[in-house]
Amino acid sequence: MSLFSKKQETEKETQPPAAPPSVIWQADSTHPQLSAALREKLREVVDPEIGLNIIELGLVRDVTIEDDEATINMILTTPFCPYGPAMLETTRQKAEKAVERPTSIDLGVQMWDPSMMEEGAGAEWGFF
């Protein structure tokens, strides 16, 4: 075993376990591996006004994955978010790459509030 691989093993052992998701999706029980991959891929989609990703903000409310398609139920931080259309399209594109299926976005009407954020995500904003 090389020094490099030993260091990697030590880093793996010292990393804290991943926190459970703040929002449970239907796909977490039907397709757990795809759901985890999707959650990580969607962390790349950042709300440019707030500077946090859509998973941290809790904007993805549910995900269903079928054999031939996926559907994401998502909300925005405000009803007239100027970046909304771009974030929705970016979310759809990243989701299709992660789950390797055509993906549609259902825009929900639920009002967003800071309590939907992942634990600790809003600390620097003074939300919690």
Cβ distance 97 to 104 under 8 Å? no
Q: Quick one: pLDDT at residue 40?
A: 97
127 pLDDT band (50/70/90 cuts)? low
Domains of the chain: 21-118 (3.30.300.130)
DSSP, collapsed to helix, strand or coil, labels residue 113 as coil
DSSP 126: T
What six digits make up the tokens of 42?
């969607």
Q: Stretch 99-115: mean pLDDT, rounded?
A: 95
What six digits make up the tokens of 86?
């771009």
Q: Cβ neighbours of residue 81 under 8 Å, at least 6 residues apart? A: 47, 49, 87
Q: Quick one: pLDDT at residue 3?
A: 44
Q: Stretch 15-41: mean pLDDT, rounded?
A: 81
Which pTM does this prediction carry? Answer: 0.79
Strand partners, 63: 72
Q: Which residue matches tokens 């990580």?
A: 40
